Structure formats: structure tokens, C-alpha cells
């Protein structure tokens, strides 16, 4: 099975899951590839989180390019199952968009700084 070869930044997955959980409880999330895509296109997303174990990978391949076009930070996590649980749903999700960070501002800043470092 050929999972997408997307890079999950070292040590960032747990911080990302924590940010998603806090944003779920105190902010606003858009769950699923379609909802994340809409949030990006509307410029409402602060951070997009994409699961790297999505198959077929075509489901999520457009998200990084769209985020870059709209100047929105994005990162990858290793598990669509964990991403679904962190976002408060009992099913897997390929992607989510954090639209309102709520109490996850510190984690969001840390993630965005790390993502910027990696893209330089």
C-alpha cells in the first residue's frame, strides 16, 4: 500500500494533536477534506492539519498547494484515526482546519514557527 510520502515534522505531531483538541474545545474546527478546503479558499483557516496515512493520496494532494497559494500554514500528522479523535469525532478524518485557535494559541505559534523553519 502506497501511503503518501508526506513529511511529519519530528516532535510536532503531539503538539499538533494537542492544538486540535484545545481548538475543538475552545475555538472552531472544520473537519474533513471538503470543509478544510472551503476554509482555506475562504481564508478562514489559521492552520490546516493533514493526515499522512490517507489513501488514496489524491484526496489530500491539493491541500498543500492551496494552503501555499492562500498563505496558510499547514502540517502533517501520522494518523487519520488520531486526527479524528483529536477533533472530537469517532471516525477517521483526512484533514481539519483550525479556524479559531481558542486556547491553543501557544501550540499554534509553536507549530507555525516549526513549519516556517522547515520550509526555509
CATH number of the domain to which 56 belongs = 3.30.1330.30
d(C-alpha 43, C-alpha 119), whole Å? 21
Q: Where are the alpha helices (DSSP H) in the chain?
A: 13-26, 33-41, 62-70, 80-86, 105-119
Give pLDDT, residue 9. Answer: 66
- Domain limits at 78? 13-115
Give pLDDT, residue 6. Answer: 62
pTM (2 d.p.): 0.91
Give a yes or no: residue 4 inside a domain.
no
Give a yes or no: residue 2 inside a domain.
no
Give a yes or no: residue 84 inside a domain.
yes
d(C-alpha 99, C-alpha 97), whole Å? 6
Tens-level pLDDT at each residue, the chain (120 residues): 334 446 676 678 999 999 999 999 999 999 999 999 999 999 999 999 999 999 999 999 999 999 999 999 999 999 999 999 999 999 999 999 999 999 999 999 999 888 888 776
Number of domains in the chain: 1
Give a yes or no: residue 8 inside a domain.
no
Give a yes or no: residue 35 inside a domain.
yes
Amino acid at each position: 500500500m502506497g501511503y503518501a510520502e508526506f513529511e511529519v515534522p519530528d516532535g510536532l505531531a503531539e503538539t499538533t494533536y494537542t492544538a486540535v483538541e484545545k481548538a475543538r474545545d475552545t475555538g472552531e474546527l472544520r473537519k474533513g477534506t471538503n470543509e478544510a478546503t472551503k476554509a482555506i479558499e475562504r481564508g478562514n483557516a489559521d492552520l490546516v492539519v493533514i493526515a499522512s496515512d490517507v489513501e488514496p493520496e489524491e484526496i489530500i494532494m491539493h491541500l498543500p498547494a492551496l494552503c501555499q497559494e492562500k498563505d496558510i500554514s499547514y502540517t502533517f500528522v501520522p494518523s487519520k484515526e488520531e486526527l479524528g479523535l483529536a477533533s472530537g469525532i469517532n471516525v477517521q478524518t483526512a484533514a481539519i482546519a483550525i479556524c479559531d485557535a481558542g486556547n491553543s494559541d501557544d501550540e499554534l505559534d509553536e507549530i507555525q514557527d516549526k513549519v516556517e523553519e522547515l520550509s526555509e
